[in-house]
Amino acid sequence: MNRLSLNIDNVKPFVSADALQGLQAEVTRLHNLLESGQGLGNDYLGWLHLPSKIEAAEIQAVEAAAQSIRSQCDALISIGIGGSYLGARAAITFCNPLLRGAGGNGPDIYYAGHNLSGDYLADLLDVIRNKRVCLNVISKSGTTTEPAVAFRILKEALEQQVGVEEARRRIVATTDEKQGALKQLADAEGYQTFVIPDDIGGRYSVLTPVGLLPIAVAGIDIRKLLQGGQEAEHAATQSARLDENPAYLYAAVRHLLYKQDKTTEVMACFHPALQYVAEWWKQLTGESEGKEQRGLFPASVEYTTDLHSMGQWMQEGQRTIFETFLLVAQSNRDVSIPQFADDLDGLNYLAGKGLDYVNDKAYRGTAAAHLEGGVPNLSLTLQDRTPETLGQMFYFFERAVALSGYLLGVNPFDQPGVEFYKKNMFQLLNKPGTEKR
Ligand SMILES: O=P(O)(O)OC[C@H]1O[C@](O)(CO)[C@@H](O)[C@@H]1O
């Protein structure tokens, strides 16, 4: 079942059917390279068939741990950064009510370890002071500074609140099977642990326990999420043809636009539930493609609010951009506009219409205006805000970005550039073993 639809009508003035057809042979070659495990970064392909291969026992273990957290606690703090953070936050924001506790009908979900702000952590410590708290610390390497520091502080706070023994029961670690400081710490303390497979990098890990545990704690059905992932996996595996494989069509279109010096891709959403989906997508594309001085710069805007700020730039700024609209066809709920007898605000022409109707017109008006202003744009419409649709979307982008990296000739599964700031930071912090340059 296809829960996503890709519309490329507004790129046609820039990308011809012939140009797409001209890329087909290369796409097919790269598809075969990906599937046969012969391409760049082939030791990180565990995500490729993960949705269909994840073991029933693993799903059950995640569900049981989530249930135990839901029954013990009224707040979960998910501690991680980058790929060990954004997938869960994207899913939880996407599926759950926007203004109630982020955990929907379960514990409130808070995040830590994704920044180094003292204010942020101090505020978080205040907020959780009188709550029953559980911690899920997530780090593949087990050595990333931001989550390690946050975990140290939150672990101490929890131990002071409930004692060392009870704290141990309330902490779950998601990390490497064998290595890293977090693994050693978890073993020493006797925490429950989940494993991040060796062959799956952080930004491709949302459908492993990295994402699944916090998502399940938030009351989202992870089986449905995985089902969506599986549907997209099957669809993308079956055919490399651009007229049959929308993930590859998206990759091919953005590659052809990049070749025309459209070097920035702006993901534009009209729904606040997509805010962290865009953040997840930025990590996926940025870390996968931005290397060897190549790669699209991934940016995002949230409409309609940003139409009143960035809208000017989008309409008339440098023509080095294209836009990918990420849309939701069916919201969970809608609110209709009332009729007023006096009509002093002049809005009676919208009376009886839902906000989604108005939002849709805003999208259509924007897409046409930006095309007229020289910005090619494509639209990916998600059928609804269900976990199945989200699972399809996660896999759609993973597959598309893997192919995009191969089209660029880079390894989409490493991130050597990220280490540079860390070296400098450690030297500035006088970390033992690092020397000043
Ligand atoms: O799970 P870890 O090892 O803490 O890494 C978190 C994130 O940091 C990075 O390694 C970059 O530093 C990302 O690739 C990764 O998603």
Residue % of the chain over a pLDDT of 70: 99
Residue 381, classed as helix, strand or coil, is strand
Burial of 7 (0-12, 13-18, 19+ CB in 10 A): middle
Q: What is the ipTM of this complex?
A: 0.98
Range from 305-314, 318-327, 422-431 carrying the lowest mean pLDDT: 422-431
Please indicate whether residue 415, judged by its CB atom, sits closer than 6 Å to ligand 1. yes
**Residue environment code for 41-67, b if the CB has 16+ CB neighbours within 10 A, otherwise e:** beebbbbbebbeebeeeebebbbebbe
Start-to-end CA span in the chain (Å): 56
Please indicate whether residue 136, judged by its CB atom, sits closer than 6 Å to ligand 1. no
The answer to whether 291 is a known catalytic residue is no
Q: Which of 114, 198, 208, 418 to mutate to test the pocket of ligand 1 (most atoms within 8 A of CB)?
A: 418
Say how many C-beta atoms besides its own lie within 10 A of residue 100's C-beta.
10
What is the pLDDT confidence band of residue 436, given thresholds at 50, 70 and 90?
low
22 within 8 A of 398, measured Cβ to Cβ:
no
Instruction: Give the closest residue to 204 by CA, choosing from 416, 414, 417, 422.
Output: 414
Mean pLDDT of 189-206: 97
247 within 8 A of 236, measured Cβ to Cβ:
yes
- Minimum-distance ligand 1 atom for the alpha carbon of 81: 6
187 within 8 A of 261, measured Cβ to Cβ:
no
CA atoms within 13 A on the CB side of 236: 34
H helices of 174-309, in order, are 181-189, 209-217, 222-238, 246-259, 275-289
Please indicate whether residue 418, judged by its CB atom, sits closer than 6 Å to ligand 1. yes
347 within 8 A of 339, measured Cβ to Cβ:
no
Q: How far apart are CA 84 and CA 141, in angstroms?
A: 10
In this predicted model, what pLDDT tens digit does every residue of 34-46 receive, in sequence order? 999 999 999 999 9
Residue % of the chain over a pLDDT of 90: 96
* Residue of the CA atom closest to atom 13 of ligand 1: 82
Please indicate whether residue 147, judged by its CB atom, sits closer than 6 Å to ligand 1. yes
How remote is the CA of residue 287 from the centroid of ligand 1, in Å?
10
- Minimum-distance ligand 1 atom for the alpha carbon of 419: 12
Is the pLDDT at 139 greater than 90? The verdict is yes
Mean pLDDT of 76-97: 97
* Residue of the CA atom closest to atom 7 of ligand 1: 82
Mean pLDDT of 282-298: 98
Annotated active-site residue in 287, 289, 323, 388: 287
Tokens of 256: 């052809």
137 within 8 A of 173, measured Cβ to Cβ:
yes
Q: Which of 141, 143, 179 to mutate to test the pocket of ligand 1 (most atoms within 8 A of CB)?
A: 141
138 within 8 A of 174, measured Cβ to Cβ:
yes
In this predicted model, what pLDDT tens digit does every residue of 361-372 receive, in sequence order? 999 999 999 999
Is the pLDDT at 142 greater than 70? The verdict is yes
121 within 8 A of 150, measured Cβ to Cβ:
yes
The string of DSSP codes covering 125-175 is HHHHTTS-EEEEEEESSS--HHHHHHHHHHHHHHHHHH-HHHHHHTEEEEE
362 within 8 A of 305, measured Cβ to Cβ:
no
Q: How far apart are CA 300 and CA 234, in angstroms?
A: 29
The per-residue pLDDT for 1 is: 87
Strand partners, 298: 265
Is the pLDDT at 346 greater than 60? The verdict is yes
Q: Which of 413, 415, 425 to mutate to test the pocket of ligand 1 (most atoms within 8 A of CB)?
A: 415
Task: Provide the whole-model pTM.
Answer: 0.97
Is the pLDDT at 437 greater than 60? The verdict is no
The per-residue pLDDT for 167 is: 98
The answer to whether 292 is a known catalytic residue is no
